[in-house]
């Protein structure tokens, strides 16, 4: 028996840093949206006695350096049983190191898929607790849809689905490590903060225009990058209701309530030698394929 799970990318419609814990973890408040852009994670039990992992992306590790491998190991540890053998195959579609949660989504997909294969030994809450041990974005990638994520990522509040809309994304640079981005943020003398509660109110009211006005990510102040500013300007001129970074960057995205405008943004970004793609909201983070 094998099982395949769609592992959806995510966008941070807002991202705010609200504090710092004594252990050094930053406290966050984020409005997050899953996308129809997804990796496919396939789990195949076998009798090898070991976890193996293969992916179509050569730049990714295929051992314990991959969060999907660690997710499987953690699952069996929490279940109190030895892995008799498992092959993990990942078909990557989510861009690497882009702030879109691709690795976290793959790890979440392994937890969800193994739970089904093993007869549902864990509840949803238990899986979310396990996911948080793997990384701050893993619980929100497991649950997905439209939600608020707080704390270090483990406090999740589901929200209504967005009205029909489109997101145009472009990755205009190379990622800087998340740890380095936090250090740079901490060194800023002052920072603008998003009004995440106002953005949530817009979501609950189905008001995309108001949501666009409140989209902001505090890491924008850290980047100060000409390419990021250029992408935001192209999106604005094409009619985006708002634009910001996802995660710690460098992916920039714009929100559109009109598919034709979104298409014009894609064309303009291509003409400027960026590599854009267009996505729609998804109502789940990880989904088991029938």
Give the catalytic positions in this structure: 10, 137
The full DSSP string for 218-261 is TTHHHH--HHHHHHHHHHHHHT-SEEEE-TTSS-EEEEES-HHH
* DSSP H or E run through 267: helix 259-271
Q: Report whether 17 contacts 138 (CB < 8 A).
A: no
Q: What is the distance between the alpha carbons of residues 3 and 132, in angstroms, rounded to a whole number? A: 23
- Secondary structure element (H or E) that encloses residue 264, with its range: helix 259-271
Sign of CA dihedral 197, 223, 282, 74: negative
The SS3 call for residue 20 is strand
The number of angstroms, rounded, from the C-alpha of 111 to the middle of its chain's C-alpha atoms is 16
Distance CA 290, CA 41 (A): 13
Residues, the chain, total? 290
């Amino acid at each position: 028996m094998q099982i395949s799970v769609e592992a959806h990318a995510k966008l941070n419609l807002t991202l705010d840093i609200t504090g710092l814990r004594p252990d050094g973890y930053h406290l966050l408040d984020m409005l997050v949206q899953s996308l129809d852009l997804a990796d496919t994670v396939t789990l195949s039990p076998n009798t090898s006695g070991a976890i193996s992992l293969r992916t179509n992306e050569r730049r990714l590790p295929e051992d314990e350096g991959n969060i999907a491998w660690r997710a499987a190991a953690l699952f069996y540890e929490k279940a109190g049983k030895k892995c008799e053998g498992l092959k993990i195959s990942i078909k990557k579609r989510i861009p690497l190191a882009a702030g879109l949660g691709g690795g976290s989504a793959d790890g979440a997909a392994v937890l969800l898929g193994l739970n089904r294969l093993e007869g549902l030994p864990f509840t949803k809450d238990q899986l979310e607790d396990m996911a948080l041990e793997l990384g701050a974005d893993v619980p929100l990638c497991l649950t997905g849809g439209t939600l608020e994520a707080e704390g270090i990522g483990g406090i999740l509040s589901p929200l209504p689905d967005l009205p029909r809309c489109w997101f145009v994304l472009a990755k205009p640079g190379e990622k800087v490590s998340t740890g380095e981005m936090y250090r740079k943020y901490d060194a800023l003398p002052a920072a603008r903060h998003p009004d995440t509660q106002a953005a949530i109110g817009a979501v609950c009211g189905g008001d995309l225009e108001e949501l666009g006005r409140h989209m902001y990510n505090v890491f924008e102040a850290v980047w100060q990058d000409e390419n990021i500013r250029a992408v935001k300007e192209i999106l604005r001129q094409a009619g985006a209701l708002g634009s910001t970074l996802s995660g710690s960057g460098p992916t920039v995205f714009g929100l559109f309530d009109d598919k034709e405008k979104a298409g014009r943004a894609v064309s303009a970004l291509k003409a400027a030698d960026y590599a854009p793609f267009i996505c729609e909201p998804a109502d789940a983070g990880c989904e088991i394929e029938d």
